[in-house]
Amino acid sequence: MVCNSGRVPAAKHAVQIDVATTKNDNWISLDRPVPVTLTQSGIFEGGGIAVSPSRFNRTDELFVYEVGPSGLTVATYYYFSGKWEKVGATGVDQGATEVFKPGQGVILRKAAAGANATIFITNEPNY
């Protein structure tokens, strides 16, 4: 049962990201009433996404699914060379892209690691 209280979350939130010895998908969302950009999410700064060694060898990927007039679209983001990039928009910094919209989740695909682990990143409110 969901009960809306009319309150806006004003505190920082922890987001759990699991790492495994094989690639694994983490379904994540941010409990915010306004859109949040890739940079504002804190995923990279908190260690939730690793730097990719190249555009063609992406370590971790963030999949964003959106339903629009033309159907389902997918955007794939990764972190490379000091910035967020999007597949198909090579070299363009995507850090200001509002990926986390209210009520929308994304998939963070983590690369295989040497051991299972859990990472907690912190998301600060952007309002």
Query: pLDDT at position 7, please?
Result: 78
pLDDT of residue 126: 84
What's the pLDDT at 49?
96
Q: What is the pLDDT of residue 67?
A: 76
pTM beyond 0.95? no
Return the pLDDT at 4.
62
pLDDT, position 106: 94
The beta strands (E) that lie in the chain are given as 13-19, 24-29, 36-37, 61-68, 71-80, 83-86, 98-100, 105-110, 117-123
Residue-level pLDDT at 73: 78
Below-70 pLDDT ranges, the chain? 1-5
